[in-house]
Amino acid sequence: MRLIFLTIARDELAEVKRFYNRQQQGLGGAFKREAEAAAKLILERPLAWQVEIEPARRFLLNQFPYKMVYVVRAEQIVVLAIMHQHRQPDYWVDRINSA
């Protein structure tokens, strides 16, 4: 099994990284490392995390108020969104069918 990001989710990851780098030098890199660690854990145990909206699941980041929303397909895990935990909670739902 492999893990892929929708283009829009990858763009969100890059935007959040830029945001944190503007706040403090190197903070964006810390965010990216945590997101990469989350992706690795999701790949190892894709069904271990809570369902957000069926069939999508969520992985909450520890150091940042973001979550990685993903779906598990037969051959791959698709990351739908890198989203702030307290803003526009369902903006990504229409991405489920494109995954």
Looking up tokens 């854990």 gives 41
User: What does the pLDDT look like over 36-71, one tens digit per residue?
Assistant: 999 999 999 999 999 999 999 999 999 999 999 999
Domain boundaries, the chain: 2-85
Q: Would you tell me which CATH number, out of the four given (3.40.50.720, 3.30.2310.20, 3.30.470.20, 3.40.50.11540), belongs to the domain 2-85?
A: 3.30.2310.20
Q: Is the peptide bond before 55 cis (omega within 30 degrees of 0)?
A: yes
Q: Output the pTM of the full model.
A: 0.93
The Cα–Cα gap between 71 and 24 comes to: 32
* Exposed/middle/buried for residue 42 (C-beta within 10 Å: 0-12, 13-18, 19+): buried
pLDDT at position 87 over 90:
no
Q: Residue 89 — pLDDT band, cuts 50, 70, 90?
A: confident
User: What does the pLDDT look like over 66-78, one tens digit per residue?
Assistant: 999 999 999 999 9
Tokens for 71? Answer: 């779906």
pLDDT at position 82 over 90:
yes
The chain-wide mean pLDDT, for the chain, equals 96
